[in-house]
């Protein structure tokens, strides 16, 4: 369900990418209650000389940065949960990357359930189908 894309400044580093994917997936499960088995994380590395803040490259500034976007189903998390998630992400990525520029972003994009999905099915369809299956199970148990 969640699709996460993380852009990190610096040289490509597969070991770091895997570490970040694991810790971000765990954090997403813990704070936003998202299922790890349907969480996708992609990690891209952008050279610091191609990442600019106020027209200055991170190479010039001697800083690191990140930009994380996560797509989740609309209205599945409270504002407090989303705020905790963004705070925890910033803390985690700052600790792992070190020397992080304050202008490093996390964005939660809430997708409408009828316009987002996996396995070729919308989230809305999956929600309705699960409700029907649960009703059938309850009726068969009687």
Average pLDDT of span 37-59: 97
CA 32 to chain centre: 10
pLDDT of residue 114: 92
Question: In angstroms, rounded to a whole number, what is the distance separating the alpha carbons of residues 64 and 120?
Answer: 38
The answer, yes or no, to whether residue 142 has pLDDT greater than 80, is no
* Domain segments of the chain as ranges: 3-111
88-117 tens-digit pLDDT: 999 999 999 999 999 999 999 999 999 988
What does the alpha-carbon distance between residue 7 and residue 111 come to, in Å, rounded to a whole number? 21
Average pLDDT over residues 31-52: 97
- CB-facing half-sphere around the CA of 111: CA atoms within 13 A: 18
Q: 85, 122 in Cβ contact below 8 A?
A: no
Instruction: Give the pLDDT confidence score for residue 126 in this predicted structure.
Output: 86
pLDDT tens per residue, range 112-132: 999 988 889 998 998 898 889
Nearby residues of 127 by Cβ (< 8 Å), 6 or more positions away: 113
Q: Quick one: which of 115, 114, 106, 60 has its CA closest to 87?
A: 106
| CATH class entry, domain 3-111 | alpha beta
- What is the pLDDT at residue 58? 98
Please work out, in degrees rounded to the nearest 5, the angle formed at the alpha carbon of residue 33 by the alpha carbons of 68 and 64.
20
Question: For position 127, what pLDDT does the model report?
Answer: 86
Q: What DSSP state is assigned to residue 100?
A: B
């Amino acid at each position: 369900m969640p699709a996460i894309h993380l852009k990190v400044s610096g040289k490509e580093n597969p070991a770091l990418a895997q570490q970040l994917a694991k810790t971000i997936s765990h954090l997403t499960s813990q704070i936003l209650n998202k299922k790890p088995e349907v969480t996708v994380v992609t990690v891209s590395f952008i050279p610091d000389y191609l990442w600019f803040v106020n027209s200055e490259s991170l190479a010039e500034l001697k800083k690191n940065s990140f930009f994380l976007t996560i797509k989740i189903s609309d209205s599945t998390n409270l504002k407090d949960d989303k705020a905790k998630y963004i705070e925890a992400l910033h803390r985690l990525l700052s600790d792992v990357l070190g020397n992080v520029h304050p202008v490093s972003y996390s964005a939660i994009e809430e997708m409408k359930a009828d316009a987002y999905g996996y396995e070729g099915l919308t989230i809305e369809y999956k929600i309705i189908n699960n409700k029907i299956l649960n009703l059938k199970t309850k009726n068969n148990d009687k």
